[in-house]
Amino acid sequence: MKRKSVSSLKKKCDKVFSLWIRNRDQQCVTCGSRSNLQAGHYVSRSWSSLRYSEVNVNAQCVSCNVFKRGNMDVYALYLTRKYGDNILKELDKKKKPHQFTIKELETIYKKYA
């Protein structure tokens, strides 16, 4: 039986979470486009504590997410309108490194698959 690794589970979680986000939003939160959607992170996913945050991650088109580097000014306005004036500070406070366990990743996978 093949043993699961954290890195392979993280890739699986990234895939199902991204699909879940794109299905939830169905359009780019920064420009309204409905094509070429991705899961755009307001706070970089390198801050693993927010990697799978349903607040921090929203659908963005390739243009906004990649070419406009997140279109961050518009993204910040979107988050503030949706979650309130303190959301950006709250996300900033939650920025910290986190080492996922296999059990955590399996739970994340099951939630979004």
- Write b or e for each residue in 37-51: b if 16 or more Cβ atoms lie within 10 A of its Cβ, otherwise e: bbbbbbbebebeebb
Tell me the pLDDT tens digit for each residue of 12-64. Answer: 999 999 999 999 999 999 999 999 999 999 999 999 999 999 999 999 999 99
Assess contact for 8 and 106: CB atoms under 8 A.
no
- Collapsing DSSP to helix, strand or coil, 56 comes out as coil
Q: Give CA 66 to chain center in angstroms.
A: 14
Looking at residue 84, its amino acid is G
Q: What is the pTM of this model?
A: 0.93
Query: In sequence order, what are the beta bridge partners of 41?
Result: 57
Between CA 27 and CA 58 the distance in angstroms is: 9
102-113 residue pLDDT tens: 999 999 999 999
